[in-house]
Amino acid sequence: MTKDKSALTSIKFWNATLSFAMVGAATSVLFQQTGGTCGDYPQHFQVLYIGLIAGLSIGFVYNLFLNKIPNSSLILSANITLIRYFLACILLAYGIVKVMATQFPHMMANMDARFIELNPMRVAWTFFGYSKGYQMFLGWGEMIPGLLLLFRRTTLLGALIAVIVMLNVFLINVFFDVCLKLNSGLYLALSLYLLLQNFERLWNFFFANRIVLPEIHSSTDRPSWLKLSNTIFNMLVVIVILGWAIKKTYETYQYSNRLASLPSVQGAWKVEKVDKWKDGNWKSADPTDSVCANRIFFEGSLGVIKNDFIRDRFILSVDESKKLLTCSFRTANNEFIPPVQWRFEKLDPDSLELFGKWRGDSLRMKCVLRKEKLTRF
């Protein structure tokens, strides 16, 4: 059988070339470096450009030597398979943490905050986290297309749902200044690319009002060993991805339990007095000092310390026997800074003293437990 080279202006040429570019872009995500849960760093853009350029270059070479590559028609199919598996993993990963209601924790600190104290991203996170049911709905909206993309017969439906879901995620990230615009835009592009593989059929069904026949995948010209190998490989990949998803679900469940665990310092605390260590003695901090906190929240393994000017978030671990709190603070970009230890003393259930460093100063804070309800869960 003679195979014709794809013309530079043909859809076939650019579809094949773009498939390599999409694989290169997806691969770049594996090489991103970050110190937290945020993105959009210059290094992320750099590896994306490298992945795109490498993919486009390989795509051009592929088209140039199309007639000389054995079973070259299978390469495009393989690229599309890699893209849908990659996108399925991403959607499952983000969906699981929402279904388990851990991505957007419903926090007393957020319920007690003035609107102006929250950055746009925190406003969105507070809204999504207010309702566990809605957060779980968002999660299933990502998990369902992720599962559909694992199987060739349901790829079109999965891609269609994924485009809708990822467009919403991308626009939220843009308009609420969430620091994951680059990756969410990439995942949207990958979803669109998968969807556009059926552009003609979709056009005929939705716009031209024509009969659309079932898609036929012809494999009669493939050697039997190749068909068997392909079937076994796909089965193994799907099993691995589903096994990984189950493991991640269990890990997220454990993390959810840690969030729900109640340390002895649990609660919303009003800071009544702040002393600052200076010249070998504790001295009352000036009320206008930026480290003069007025509220502290301990919620499971999450914490917030704030005043009228500053609001710092941290991850908390508690050593009850030694009366120590290990606080890993986060920057505005969700990057962790080296943890600090605070010592705590509870004189009674409603009183708490904290000793430790915050923003470089050694402080002693005397706190009383607030009684008003700050969460509806």
DSSP assignment string, 95-134: HHHHHTT-SS---HHHHTS-GGGS-HHHHHHHHHHH-HHH
pLDDT score of 110: 86
Q: Is residue 5 predicted with pLDDT exceeding 70? A: no
Nearest to 176 by CA among 127, 106, 140, 139: 127
Q: Report the alpha-carbon distance of residue 220 to residue 243 in Å, rounded.
A: 32
Type of residue numbered 165: V
Q: Is residue 2 predicted with pLDDT exceeding 70? A: no
Query: If one looks up domain 267-369 in CATH, what number appears?
Result: 2.40.128.270
Task: Tell me what the mean pLDDT of segment 214-234 comes to.
Answer: 76
Q: Report the alpha-carbon distance of residue 51 to residue 189 in Å, rounded.
A: 14
Task: Tell me what the mean pLDDT of segment 85-112 comes to.
Answer: 92
Answer yes or no: are the C-beta atoms of 347 and 262 closer than 8 Å: no
Q: Report the alpha-carbon distance of residue 200 to residue 207 in Å, rounded.
A: 10
Lowest mean per-residue pLDDT among 9-23, 197-211, 215-229: 215-229
Kindly give the pairing relationship between strand 340-348 and strand 324-329. antiparallel
Q: Is residue 222 predicted with pLDDT exceeding 80? A: no
| Residues facing 315 on adjacent strands | 302, 328
Q: Report the alpha-carbon distance of residue 297 to residue 313 in Å, rounded.
A: 9
Q: What predicted TM-score, i.e. pTM, was given to this entire model?
A: 0.88
Q: Supply the mean pLDDT for the chain.
A: 89
Residues sharing a CB contact under 8 Å with residue 363, sequence separation 6 or more, in sequence order: 274, 275, 276, 277, 285, 291, 293, 354, 355, 356, 357
pLDDT score of 1: 39
Nearest to 310 by CA among 324, 289, 282, 327: 289
Nearest to 285 by CA among 359, 217, 336: 359
